[in-house]
A and B are shown apart, each in its own frame.
Chain A
Amino acid sequence: MKDRFDEELRAIMLEETEKIYMSDELKESILENCKPGLIYRIRAFLNSYIEIPVPVLIGVFAIVLMVNLIPAMDIDVDFNDRQVVEIGNSQVIVRDMGDVDGYED
């Protein structure tokens, strides 16, 4: 509980600081000295959370999924669809599909 002495103390402090305030010059001077430099920006970046909008995230995920899954899909390849050109004792097999490893006789 505060008594008269305490109230006097507070009143004196308030009176003493009545005309004390932060001048515009001081404010400008502080702001001038506080311009974020390169190190500040780097630290700000390292400390920041990266915000990615949900639609963008879904889009990127879908693209990644497609790129990874499509080659693995079971594409119906007819390995008999080929042309054989006989040149002497040799045979040249001509086919539209490029991937022949593992399937060729």
Chain B
Amino acid sequence: MATYKETELVRKLKKGDKSSFEELLNLYGNRLIKTCYLILNSRVEAEDAVQETFIRVFKSIHNFNEESSLYTWIYTIALNICRDMLKRRKYVSSFEEYMLDQGESAEEIVLERINREILRERLSSLPFIYKEVLVLFYFEGLTVKEISHILREKEGTIKSKLSRGRKMLKNALVKGGDLFEG
């Protein structure tokens, strides 16, 4: 649900008000660059992604129909750009490649063994489709419903991706660092 402030900002953006451009950057710039950085693992690429995102936002603000909130729309654009960048790096793996059938029995071992360094390393090499969901859920604090709006996927799919992403990281801890599928 868009707030009055956001509606007002969109109105000013559509009018081409220069100060509103700056306001938008101040409002979402830092959050967005952090999210892009977590997904791309590169500061330079995160900056490029953010720059491209905002340029696209400004150029196509007239197409924003205000059915979703502004930040949802911006994040959809940003994640598409990140996805394209990763495709160019050929880092993306298909969803079907990662079918986990490992049960939750490893839960206790994981909790004992949480090694922040391994987790940090594995998080950075997690496939994009899981990482984007984990970042939006844990870092941005978005709900499954909000993520499903951003990624234009069903809530069930998002839940499934969240669960699989977590499992892959947990399994990595059990196996001492290597990502595997169970």
Contacts and interface: CB of A to CB of B under 8 A. Distances in A.
Interface of A: 3-6, 8-17, 20-23, 26-27, 29-31, 33-34, 36, 40-41, 43-44, 47-48
Contacts of A20: 33-34, 37, 43, 46
Contacts of A8: 114, 116, 119
Nearest to B134: A9
B50 A22 contact: yes
List the 4 closest A-B pairs by CB distance, nearest first: A17-B34, A22-B29, A36-B16, A13-B139
Given A22-B50, A31-B25, A43 B119 contact: no
Given A5-B111, A17-B38, A30-B54, 11 more contacts: A17-B34, A17-B37, A20-B37, A20-B43, A21-B33, A26-B29, A31-B18, A31-B22, A40-B16, A41-B16, A48-B15
Interface residues of B: mostly helix, strand, loop or mixed? helix
A48 B25 contact: no
Interface residues of A: mostly helix, strand, loop or mixed? helix
B38 A16 contact: yes
Contact of A33 (B32, B51, B134, B169): B51
A103 to B, nearest CB: 57
A5 B114 contact: yes
Nearest to B35: A17
A39 B16 CA distance: 11
Nearest to A12: B120
Interface in B54-99: 54-55, 58-59, 62
A18 B139 CA distance: 12
15 contacts: A8-B114, A8-B119, A9-B138, A17-B34, A17-B38, A21-B30, A22-B29, A22-B50, A26-B51, A29-B51, A30-B25, A30-B54, A31-B18, A47-B62, A48-B14
B149 interface: no
Interface of B: 14-16, 18, 21-22, 25, 29-30, 32-34, 37-38, 43, 46-47, 50-51, 54-55, 58-59, 62, 110-111, 114, 116, 119-120, 123, 134-135, 138-139, 166, 169-170
A79 B130 CA distance: 94
Contacts of B34: 17, 20-21
B2 to A, nearest CB: 17
A35 to B, nearest CB: 8
